[in-house]
A and B are shown apart, each in its own frame.
Chain A
Amino acid sequence: ETGVTQTPRHLVMGMTNKKSLKCEQHLGHNAMYWYKQSAKKPLELMFVYSLEERVENNSVPSRFSPECPNSSHLFLHLHTLQPEDSALYLCASSQGIAVSSYEQYFGPGTRLTVT
């Protein structure tokens, strides 16, 4: 138990559906992250939020839309996804982004399958 929860744990959606992934951290952290892990590939950073402001968008297609309503919650809204978007989506949090000694704590991930 890392203090970062993600729901749902598994999601199957069609290419025309709209769904959202939710992440919540109970650590009092100020920064939150979305990562994507495709089969047999390293984790890829998608988005970074610091104090509810997006500070990095790592060339992610617009069919992925993040939202950070407060420092404890992070959403990833999904629409018109492609089968190649099937992956494990991981959320993480850290105390902040400005100091390189802030370790990140990861949630268990959402296993997404796009059919």
Chain B
Amino acid sequence: DAKTTQPPSMDCAEGRAANLPCNHSTISGNEYVYWYRQIHSQGPQYIIHGLKNNETNEMASLIITEDRKSSTLILPHATLRDTAVYYCIVRGYSGGGADGLTFGKGTHLIIQP
């Protein structure tokens, strides 16, 4: 799976949009971009994933650049409960092997009141 690079931490004011960047310049054509988050000492929570097109669900939007080398997760109206570590993961089918997730260090997003 391709490697990802994320800023270690970010702040965002409550009620504003939180934009979390991720670089994945070595991504290959069949690899998806996944976002998870982990609130302190809880299990990771799936947020959203995409391949080429931008995606939106009830939690967030995912914007993937045309060359697919980077993406941005957008939380449109951040609340204090969105304070968590956010992981950007690139994941592809390993062709016969298992397909666990490879977590990096993520971005610690702190929502300020």
How many of chain B's residues touch chain A, expressed as a range? 20 to 34
B76: Cβ under 8 A from any A Cβ: no
Interface residues of B in 19-69 (CB under 8 A from A): 30-32, 34, 41-46, 49, 51
0/1 string, A101-115, CB within 8 A of B gives 1: 111111111010000
Contact A42 B104 (CB under 8 A): yes
Name the contact of B99 in the complex, choosing from A88, A97, A106 (C-beta under 8 A): A97
Contact B98 A48 (CB under 8 A): yes
- Cα A101 to Cα B31 with chains together (Å): 9
Known interface pairs A2-B43, A90-B44; A103-B103 also in contact (CB < 8 Å): no
Segment from A12-20, A50-58, A65-73 that makes contact with B: A50-58
Contact B103 A98 (CB under 8 A): no
Residues of chain A at the chain B interface (Cβ within 8 Å): 2, 4, 33, 35, 42-43, 45, 48, 50, 55-56, 58, 88, 90, 92, 97-109, 111
